[in-house]
Amino acid sequence: MKAARIPAYGAPDVLRIDEFPQPKPNPGEALVRIKACGVNRMDTELRAGVYGGQPLSDFFFGKNIELPHIPGVEPAGVIETTKVNASNLVPGTRVVPHSHLSCGACPQCRAGYDNACAEIRVLGVQTPGCGGYAEYFTWPAKSLIPFNDALSFEQAAALLVNYGPVWFGLIDRARLKEGETLVVTGAAGGCGHAALDIARMSGARAIAVTRSPDKVAALRDAGADAVVIDRDGDNWAESVNDLTAGHGADCVVELVGAATWQRSLEAAALRGRIIVIGSHSGLNVELNLGQLFGKNLSIEGITRANRSAMERLVRLAEKGDLRPHVGHVLPLADVAEAHRLMDADEHTGKIVLTMD
């Protein structure tokens, strides 16, 4: 089969398309023919060997990566064969994988927080030789989620990695409600679009923050009620205050990290909830504790979604309640260009690779 591989850390042009042996499913697994795969920051950072300006090997998900590596955390495809008896997983069934495997037995897993399992293995990260930038992958059948043809493969490949942590953070944890205001930093990316879509579905008012004035129209189309431009020297938190008559944001979803962190704290309302999902602009920030307790703020870090949230997201997208926005579709052969688009922040919405 054809697959993209990272032979060594570096710029997008290190990516190579090569022939690999087609994987064989073990008992309990399915072989899935991949039709599309989402491109994520995790992939580009894994390729560069750098996360948030620090060596990937310093970061928990960057340990024990074996090169060459097949990346891709978000494939969608059809079951080719299975080594399991399950009537809902016959050959031809359209599936997406839960994006991680967990131990199922630790206190976190038993409490329903399998996304916080210490033994977690993320597809395309801690699964040597198995990733979504390929024509096939194998995966435990019990960790596959079938979806119907209301969703395209490209949409299905634009769902779990972005919507997953945003849903888990904003809905399951921060309890974002109708009538509340949500601020989304880094709103033009895949997680940003997911946050705008989830706010729309929840009846919350969404304020998108972006550094790119040319992305304002696309952000409004994606569901932003207002767009604030983060210009050097300006304080976008003041714009959020103006837009909310001094109230501030009930929730902030922090997708950028060090570059937006201080303004996110300032933009948060009294008893505001700040959900931190990404920090690719830098990991180390300052925190004024007086600001934290003086405003009764809550800050929570989220990695991925748990299994039940992922299943719910697929059902909501099938019904059209959530509408994954695919901004760019490229063939697998153009994988380096897909990474260049993301590195340059030239994309709007999700970048998806297709295999046919």
Cα–Cα distance measured from residue 134 to residue 157, given in angstroms and rounded to the nearest whole number: 13
Of residues 109 and 277, the one with the C-beta less far from Zn ion: 109
Of residues 103 and 229, the one with the C-beta less far from Zn ion: 103
Of residues 102 and 244, the one with the C-beta less far from Zn ion: 102
Q: Which residue is nearest to Zn ion (CB)?
A: 117
Of residues 24 and 121, the one with the C-beta less far from Zn ion: 121
Of residues 119 and 337, the one with the C-beta less far from Zn ion: 119
Cα–Cα distance measured from residue 11 to residue 89, given in angstroms and rounded to the nearest whole number: 39
Residue 20-59 contact track with Zn ion, rule CB under 5 A, x = bound:
----------------------------------------
Three-state DSSP class for 109? helix
| Strand 181-184 with 249-254, pairing | parallel
Instruction: Restricting to residues 83-102, name those near Zn ion by CB under 5 A.
Output: 102
Can you tell me which of 1, 106, 285, 292 binds Zn ion, judged by CB under 5 A?
A: 106
Of residues 120 and 219, the one with the C-beta less far from Zn ion: 120
Sign (positive/negative) of CA torsion 197, 165, 324, 41? positive
Give yes or no for a contact between 15 and 336, defined as CB atoms under 8 angstroms apart.
yes
Nearest distance from residue 303's CB to Zn ion, in Å? 13
Q: Looking at 110-118, 201-209, 269-277, 320-328, which segment touches Zn ion (CB under 5 A)?
A: 110-118
Position of tokens 């505001």?
A: 272
Nearest distance from residue 101's CB to Zn ion, in Å? 10
Give yes or no for a contact between 56 and 71, defined as CB atoms under 8 angstroms apart.
no
Binding residues with Zn ion: total (CB under 5 A): 5
At 312, give phi and psi (nearest 5°).
-65, -40
Rounded (to 5) percent helix, strand, coil in the chain: 30, 25, 40
Nearest distance from residue 304's CB to Zn ion, in Å? 13
Nearest distance from residue 146's CB to Zn ion, in Å? 24
Of residues 210 and 306, the one with the C-beta less far from Zn ion: 306
Token pair, residue 220, equals 């409004």
Token pair, residue 16, equals 């190579």
234 Cβ contact list (under 8 Å, min separation 6): none
Residue 118-157 contact track with Zn ion, rule CB under 5 A, x = bound:
----------------------------------------
Give yes or no for a contact between 255 and 283, defined as CB atoms under 8 angstroms apart.
no
Q: Looking at 117-125, 173-181, 217-225, 306-314, which segment touches Zn ion (CB under 5 A)?
A: 117-125
DSSP string, 306-326: -HHHHHHHHHHHHHTSS---E
Helix (H) or strand (E) holding 163: helix 160-167
Of residues 121 and 271, the one with the C-beta less far from Zn ion: 121
Nearest distance from residue 306's CB to Zn ion, in Å? 11
Of residues 110 and 319, the one with the C-beta less far from Zn ion: 110
DSSP string, 223-288: T-SEEEE--TT--HHHHHHHHTTT--EEEEEE-S-TTTHHHHHHHEEEEEEEEE---TT-S-----
117 interacts with Zn ion by CB under 5 A: yes
Nearest distance from residue 111's CB to Zn ion, in Å? 10
Can you tell me which of 3, 39, 79, 109 binds Zn ion, judged by CB under 5 A?
A: 109
Can you tell me which of 78, 84, 103, 122 binds Zn ion, judged by CB under 5 A?
A: 103
**Which residues of this protein are in contact with Zn ion, per CB under 5 A?**
102-103, 106, 109, 117
